[in-house]
Structure 1
Amino acid sequence: MANTVATKKRLRITWVKSLIGAKQPQRGTIRALGLKRRGQTVEHDDTPVIRGMIAKVSHLVTVEEVEVAE
């Protein structure tokens, strides 16, 4: 039997656009994602909750899928 390494998907989220003119819920979503300053990058597990948060601020962030060995 071949050795297979289980991989887990993670999302690398980078805040790229300013919050000037953004509504309060968008500001809260950026903060809830763990982003404190523009240009910062965080990683989260790929869950429906995180995907929903990204959808609300998709115009402010960039997202990359990263596979991590468990």
Structure 2
Amino acid sequence: MAKTIVVKQIGSPIRRPAIQRQTLIGLGLNKMNKTRELEDTPAVRGMVNKIPHLVEIVEERG
């Protein structure tokens, strides 16, 4: 089984640059306090690291 991380949106995309909004959409997040379980890959980690003020890693599994 692949490693996964649970990512939670903690910030609003309102009044953020378009690239940050697109990164949230790429992670599958669009509303406050929504969570997604994603595969722990370098691409996903890079996306999370680009917007640390909007998301947090809640849990790491695997």
User: Is TM-score (shorter-chain normalized) higher than 0.5?
Assistant: yes
List structure 1 runs of 4+ shifted beyond 4 angstroms: none
Are positions 1:38 and 2:32 aligned together?
Answer: yes
CA distance in 2, matches of 1:38, 1:45: 21
The structure 2 residue matched to 1:29, chosen from 10, 20, 23, is 23
Q: Could you give the per-residue CA deviations for residues 11-39 of structure 1, whole angstroms, max 9, x where no partner exists?
A: 10000111122100000000010012111
In the superposition, the TM-score normalised over structure 1's length comes to 0.78
Q: Is the 8 A contact 1:9 1:65 kept in 2?
A: no
Q: Percent identity?
A: 35
* Letter in structure 2 aligned against 1:61: V
Runs (5+) with no aligned partner, structure 1 = 1-6
Structure 2: tracts of 5 or more residues without a match: none
- What is the number of residues matched between the two proteins? 62
Using the alignment, how far apart are the partners of 2:36 and 2:49 within structure 1?
Answer: 16
Q: Which residue of 1 aligns with 2:14?
A: 20
Question: What is the deviation of 1:64?
Answer: 2.8
For each residue in 1:25-57, what CA deviation from the matched residue of structure 2 results, as whole angstroms up to 9, or x when unmatched? 000000010012111000111100000000111
Could you say which structure has the larger radius of gyration? 1
